[in-house]
Structure 1
Amino acid sequence: MAIHTPKTREDLARLLDPMRLEATPFEHAVAVGAAEKRTVSPAAPKSGPEYTRWMRTVEALHEGLMLLRRGWRRDDPDNLPYFSHPQLRLGLVASSGGKFTGVAWGNPSTKNDKGVAFARRVDLNGQVALFDQPTGDGGSFVVDDLWILLYNERDGMVYLELSHPMSMTGKKIDTWSERIIFPPFDLALGAFSFEEIDDEDEGDVGFTVTRR
């Protein structure tokens, strides 16, 4: 498994650019999601805060990706909010993650059980689904690579990563071929906490390879 830990905004940009992505939509999405979670009172259903976070995270991510105008589109197959880049054959979904989300020394998983819509896109043989993905206009396109945005809030930070799934254990996705770990999002500062590095180190990207 390849694990990328970019130290600077420029390092992160170099990892995201081949996917026609930028850091800003993710930064904005986790900020909005965290803020909206806090608007839910204790009188709401128990699932209310996290459901509200997920809903607003998806909404803000949608707005950010569309504003990029870099070929990303949005569909909702099986009622799953699904972003895709038909030209690059990429797919992207957002999900809350477990306690090891956003750290290189642990193996993350999706926090909650996933249903049929997720399972159809990650098969149990360790291969990302290569079949046609339906679109809202009645068409379809092929997705070769599905990526999942995982996020988890703890200790005043939102930890997040963009990771490429391999397989599911039960109803949770917990095996990955590649992980791009974002710097933690500092809720007090409202921004990613990139490291301060010396000029001579500028441009270095952390990279870890672990056994599957």
Structure 2
Amino acid sequence: MAIHTPKTREELAGHLSPKRLTAEVFERAVSAGAAESRTYSKGAPKSAPNMTRWFRTVEFMHDELMLLKLDWKRSDPQNLPYFSQADLNLGLIASSGDEFTGVAWGTPSTKNPKGSAFAKRVDENGQGALFAQQTADGGGIDVKYLWILLYNERDGMVYLELSRPKSMAGKQIDSWLDRIIFPPFDLALGAFTFEETEADDESFGFTIARR
């Protein structure tokens, strides 16, 4: 399993741009999802915050992917929001993850059991199954590499990663081929917690002077 832990926005872009993705797609999606989950009082059903977080995360991920104009397509097989990139044979799904999401020292899994629509897209060899994915406009896309956005909120941060599954145990993923672990998203700051480099510290400065 390959684990990547980019510390700067440039490093993260180096992993995402070959997949025709940007950090902003996921930054805005998880931010919107987290904000939506906070709109409920204790009187709401216990599942409401997590469900609506997923709804809003998928919605914003859809909007941001379409704004990229990099040929991402949307489909909904068995009501599963699914994104495909034909030129690269990529598939993309968003899902909540468990407490090991976004850390290199643990092996994450999906937070909740997944149904047949999800399981169908991970074959027994751990590759995203090569199949013709029907898109909303009637086109077909062959998908070979499935990536999953996993996210989990804890301690004022949203931990997330973009990872490629290897296998499933029952209804949950239990191993991975590749993991790109994002810096935690700080809910108070509304941004990823990228590390500042010494070069950045030395290159920029300002002085506030009284008029």
Higher relative contact order (CA 8 A, sep 6+): 1
Equivalent AA in structure 2 for residue 138 of structure 1: G
| Identical-residue share of aligned pairs (%) | 69
TM-score w.r.t. structure 1 length? 0.91
Q: Distance in 1 between the 2:174 and 2:149 partners?
A: 13
Q: Distance in 2 between the 1:191 and 1:136 partners?
A: 32
User: After the TM superposition, which residues 46-195 of structure 1 pair with which residues of structure 2 at under 5 Å, given as runs?
Assistant: 46-195=46-195
Query: In the alignment, what sits opposite 1:210?
Result: none
Q: Distance in 1 between the 2:139 and 2:24 partners?
A: 30
Q: Distance in 1 between the 2:181 and 2:122 partners?
A: 21
Q: How many residues align?
A: 200
Max Rg structure: 2
8 Å contact from structure 1 (residues 27, 191) kept in 2: yes
Q: Distance in 2 between the 1:162 and 1:120 partners?
A: 19
8 Å contact from structure 2 (residues 85, 141) kept in 1: no
Post-superposition offset of 1:126: 2.2
Post-superposition offset of 1:159: 0.2
Query: In the alignment, what sits opposite 2:29?
Result: 29
Query: In the alignment, what sits opposite 2:39?
Result: 39
Q: Distance in 1 between the 2:59 and 2:170 partners?
A: 28
Post-superposition offset of 1:88: 1.0
8 Å contact from structure 1 (residues 134, 141) kept in 2: yes
Query: In the alignment, what sits opposite 1:204?
Result: none
Q: Distance in 2 between the 1:154 and 1:90 partners?
A: 29
Provide the aligned C-alpha RMSD in A: 1.2
Q: Distance in 2 between the 1:71 and 1:138 partners?
A: 14
Query: In the alignment, what sits opposite 2:208?
Result: none
Post-superposition offset of 1:42: 1.9
8 Å contact from structure 1 (residues 12, 23) kept in 2: yes
Unaligned runs of 5+ in 2: 201-211
Q: Distance in 1 between the 2:14 and 2:177 partners?
A: 19
Q: Distance in 2 between the 1:139 and 1:63 partners?
A: 20
Name the SS of the counterpart of 1:133 in structure 2: strand
**Structure 1 runs of 4+ with >6 Å offset:** none
8 Å contact from structure 1 (residues 186, 193) kept in 2: yes
Post-superposition offset of 1:133: 1.3
Q: Distance in 1 between the 2:103 and 2:75 partners?
A: 30
Query: In the alignment, what sits opposite 1:9?
Result: 9
What is the CA deviation profile of residues 43-69 of structure 1, one whole-angstrom value per residue up to 9, with x for unaligned ones?
222211100000000001111111111
Post-superposition offset of 1:41: 2.0
Query: In the alignment, what sits opposite 1:203?
Result: none
Q: Distance in 2 between the 1:96 and 1:17 partners?
A: 23
Equivalent AA in structure 1 for residue 95 of structure 2: S
Q: Distance in 2 between the 1:168 and 1:21 partners?
A: 26
Name the SS of the counterpart of 1:84 in structure 2: strand
8 Å contact from structure 2 (residues 73, 135) kept in 1: no
Q: Distance in 2 between the 1:135 and 1:62 partners?
A: 13
